[in-house]
Structure 1
Amino acid sequence: MVLGYSFMRIWMEKLSLIRFYVIWAIIFYTIINTVPLDRFVVEQNLKRYQETGKIDIHYLNSLSYDGVEGLVRLYKLNPGHPGLAELLQIRKGEFLDEEVSWNSINLSRKKAEEALMNLEL
């Protein structure tokens, strides 16, 4: 779309490229920040785990709070996965030790914290 508009600019000199690029950048930025990409990555990794039995729990841990939710779901699927219980215990301790102020409310964090606190390790 950007390339097509840029080609149209060659023949139509009245078209403003700067305005189009700024609008396109704002739209792109908004889409990237509203689409839950980490949740999609977690879903695909869990789906692949069910097919192959292989998963990188440290990679899921490095994602946002959606990764923690994925680790909890993985624990429910396979509680005996090596290192998973210890990793979840560490994350649980981080949630308990962390002070959250009123202006940093995060829905993903709250869901991950609830899932982790309701999990019996």
Structure 2
Amino acid sequence: MVDHSVVLFSYGTLRQREVQLSVFGREVAGTPDRLPGYRLSTVEITDPQVIAVSGATHHPILEATGDAADVVDGTALRLTEDELTAADAYEVDDYQRALVPLASGLHGWVYAAGHNPSGA
């Protein structure tokens, strides 16, 4: 039996079927969830391989605000450790992985801005 015990909160391209098939080799089921204390921004993607997989030059990116009123909707994906490693390889350097509490009570990994992409 495969252990899908890793939770990854996705709010962007990792929810797309084509991206999941390319990154994980399978379609990943998930449950709707929310992440408080963050807001969405965008980041320009320059990695040709990521653009080819996602079909987009701009991806959403999370920015921590610390304000519980700021909430981002997404999906809690159930992955294996190897699939989480594959997600790490897919995400560009603008993203950093962090373990966060979700509105459902689960704790999951999320890719968020390691710095403020707008420079502000």
Please report the TM-score for the alignment, with normalisation by the length of structure 2.
0.26
Of structures 1 and 2, the one with the larger relative CO (CA 8 A, separation 6+) is: 2
More strand as a share of residues: 2
Q: Based on CA coordinates, which of the two structures has the bigger radius of gyration? A: 1
